[in-house]
Amino acid sequence: MSHAHHLLKLLLLLLAVLAGSQPHGAVAAKFEVKDVTNKTCTIVELLMNFSIKYETVEEKEKLIFFPIPEDAVVSGNSTCGKGSSESSLLVVTFGTGHSVSFSFSRNSSVYYAEKLGVAYNLGDKHIFPDARRNDVSFSSESTGINAQVNTTYVCMTAQEIQMANATVVISAARIEAYVPGSDYSKEETVCEADKTTSTTTVPTTVTPTQPPTPKDPVSIKYNVTSSNGTCLLAQMGLQLNLTYITKYNKTGVEIINIDSNATASGFCESTSVGLSLKSERTSLWLFFSMDTAAQRGSVLHKVRQVVTLRGALNVTNTSLNYLQATLGKSFKCSSKQILQVSPVFALDVFKAQVQAFTVQNGKFGEAEECLLDQNNMLIPIIVGAALAGLVLIVLIAYLIGRKRSHAGYQTI
Ligand SMILES: *[C@@H]1O[C@H](CO)[C@@H](O)[C@H](O)[C@H]1NC(C)=O
Ligand SMILES: *[C@@H]1O[C@H](CO)[C@@H](O)[C@H](O)[C@H]1NC(C)=O
Ligand SMILES: *[C@@H]1O[C@H](CO)[C@@H](O)[C@H](O)[C@H]1NC(C)=O
Ligand SMILES: *[C@@H]1O[C@H](CO)[C@@H](O)[C@H](O)[C@H]1NC(C)=O
Ligand SMILES: *[C@@H]1O[C@H](CO)[C@@H](O)[C@H](O)[C@H]1NC(C)=O
Ligand SMILES: *[C@@H]1O[C@H](CO)[C@@H](O)[C@H](O)[C@H]1NC(C)=O
Ligand SMILES: *[C@@H]1O[C@H](CO)[C@@H](O)[C@H](O)[C@H]1NC(C)=O
């Protein structure tokens, strides 16, 4: 666009951190059980946290948290079981007399981790320095972990297993019992919590699941106002489209709408303006700036967000050029715009009107329609013109026809 006027352009900068359920730096511990012939029957790889309630010497209840330590090893009490229906057992011991166990059972098509057991030694002064008792307590509970035989159970989402005095949190789990080969089976059974689709029974082997398309975001009015007046006025619906790769090379899409619960704040400076939208799961920053060098009022738009999801993503883009408008006027677009920030992140903008820097009396200036809207307007105009032409042709044909029939009467 070669406007002689000053143009407002938009640059988007994204800094997205997808805080995972996996604590940074933590590596899933892997445990393997082999039978007498040295053939693997059970493989369990997961992150595990314990929270345990115990009574202190002062007769108070205390709750402590700890992850499964690195010294955890498979105990000799683990077994593969005999015959296809026999239960197998994985026992992992750690520290001073603590252990966690999974007991597996199967039928012809499904295997389950029937029970998860935790034994903790209150006599361990490292973990329970002030415990009243010093014996070993044991709790067990059913797990809900089940998968098709000959498939790997995969569950990245954290699952809580609550027992009387202990809660075990499992995440980033890859589990297979009754392993047919020497390693995990290729086919996977993905746990319900990992499936973003809320539909009913899906086939248990994994196919990339498409999340349901959420409703369009509500259009919300934002403003950033300083003592010098309003420097940003916007009315828009915002939707984040994030593509992420899980640890196991699966692609997922997460669509997040920015709703009215987001807390808006921002700042006004002479050549840059910022709008921050914070909500429970996301923190989004939009920075607009004026391009003085090019003698254009340009708008720098920086997006920074934090989303609680299953991996980590960090994107920065300073070379975007969206939402252009002349200074003093507003950018307007009723059509949905997809602002691609990076290959894995798009900011979708709905029903937008945006004006930065010079906002008179807290009202939008003259609107400059986006190209998408202009194109949408063009179609009805063309159709309208075509219809008008058609009506005209029919009318002329009718008039000519009438004249002819009059002439016909006269000859008879
Ligand atoms: C496990 O505990 C660590 C440290 O307290 C925490 O950062 C992490 O989020 C916990 N993980 C789960 C799955 O609860
Ligand atoms: C699982 O795999 C084993 C070995 O390949 C095979 O014998 C068995 O029939 C399979 N079971 C199921 C339920 O697919
Ligand atoms: C989200 O982005 C992906 C990849 O660019 C695209 O295939 C998908 O249609 C988008 N979804 C929505 C709801 O915009
Ligand atoms: C994921 O893909 C990368 C690159 O293609 C590969 O190196 C890695 O081994 C894969 N990881 C898994 C768990 O399949
Ligand atoms: C805003 O938060 C409240 C309380 O958490 C919730 O009830 C309401 O549904 C939320 N509104 C939207 C639009 O998400
Ligand atoms: C920034 O966005 C532009 C336009 O979508 C794109 O061409 C460019 O590759 C992006 N840069 C980065 C670093 O993602
Ligand atoms: C800006 O937002 C505040 C808080 O929502 C509101 O009180 C004020 O009227 C708004 N100003 C303009 C110019 O829209």
C-alpha distances in Å from residue 47, one per residue of 32, 146, 233: 15, 18, 46
Ligand in closest contact with the CA of 15? 6
Mean pLDDT of 210-237: 87
Q: Are residues 92 and 99 in contact, defined by beta-carbon separation less than 8 angstroms? A: yes
Q: Report residue 37 as tokens.
A: 């012939």
The topology (CATH level 3) of 215-369 is Porin (2.40.160)
Residue nearest atom 3 of ligand 7, based on CA coordinates? 223
Residue nearest atom 7 of ligand 4, based on CA coordinates? 249
Read off φ and ψ for residue 74, nearest 5 degrees. -75, 130
- 27-194 and 215-369, same CATH topology: yes
Residue with more model confidence, 402 or 26:
402
Residue 174 confidence (pLDDT):
92
Residue 291 confidence (pLDDT):
63
CA 21–ligand 1 middle distance (angstroms): 8
Residue nearest atom 9 of ligand 3, based on CA coordinates? 241
Q: Are residues 81 and 89 in contact, defined by beta-carbon separation less than 8 angstroms? A: yes
Cβ-based neighbours of 184, under 8 Å, separated by 6 or more: 43, 152, 174, 176
- Average model confidence (pLDDT) across the chain: 78
Residue 302 confidence (pLDDT):
43
Residue nearest atom 2 of ligand 7, based on CA coordinates? 223
Mean pLDDT of 179-200: 77
d(CA 238, CA 347): 7
d(CA 150, CA 374): 56
Q: Is the Cβ atom of 259 under 6 angstroms away from ligand 5? A: yes
Mean pLDDT of 250-255: 78
> Where is 408: in which H helix or E strand?
helix 371-411
CA 180–ligand 7 middle distance (angstroms): 65
Whether 22 has a pLDDT exceeding 60, the answer reads: no
d(CA 408, CA 412): 7
State the pTM of this model: 0.49
Lowest mean pLDDT among 5-9, 205-209, 369-373: 5-9
126 pLDDT band (50/70/90 cuts)? confident
For a mutational test of ligand 5's pocket, the pick from 219, 261, 278, i.e. the residue with the most ligand atoms closer than 8 A to its C-beta, is: 261
Residue nearest atom 5 of ligand 4, based on CA coordinates? 249
Lowest mean pLDDT among 141-145, 331-335, 338-342: 338-342
Rg (CA), the chain: 32
CA 170–ligand 1 middle distance (angstroms): 9
Mean pLDDT of 362-380: 81
Q: What does the buried/exposed string (b/e) look like for 113-134 if buried means 16 or more CB atoms within 10 Å of the residue's CB? A: bbbbbbbbbbebeebbeebeee
Which residues does residue 100 pair with via DSSP β-bridges, in sequence order?
92, 118
Name the E strands within 149-271. 152-155, 159-162, 166-177, 188-190, 220-226, 229-245, 251-257, 263-268
251 pLDDT band (50/70/90 cuts)? confident
Segment 162-177, tens digit of pLDDT: 888 899 999 889 999 9
Cβ neighbours around 56 below 10 Å, total: 13
Provide, rounded to the nearest whole percent, the portion of the chain with pLDDT above 70: 75
CA 245–ligand 3 middle distance (angstroms): 14
Q: Report residue 239 as tokens.
A: 């939707």
Instruction: Render 243-292 in DSSP notation, one character per residue.
Output: EEE-TTS-EEEEEEE--TTSEEEEEE-SSEEEEEEE-SS-EEEEEEE-BT
Which ligand 7 atom minimizes the distance to the CA of 363? 13
CA 15–ligand 6 middle distance (angstroms): 13
- The whole-angstrom distance between residue 379's C-alpha and the CA centroid of its chain comes to 36
Domain spans of the chain?
27-194, 215-369
314 pLDDT band (50/70/90 cuts)? low
CATH of domain 27-194: 2.40.160.110
88 pLDDT band (50/70/90 cuts)? very high
44 pLDDT band (50/70/90 cuts)? very high
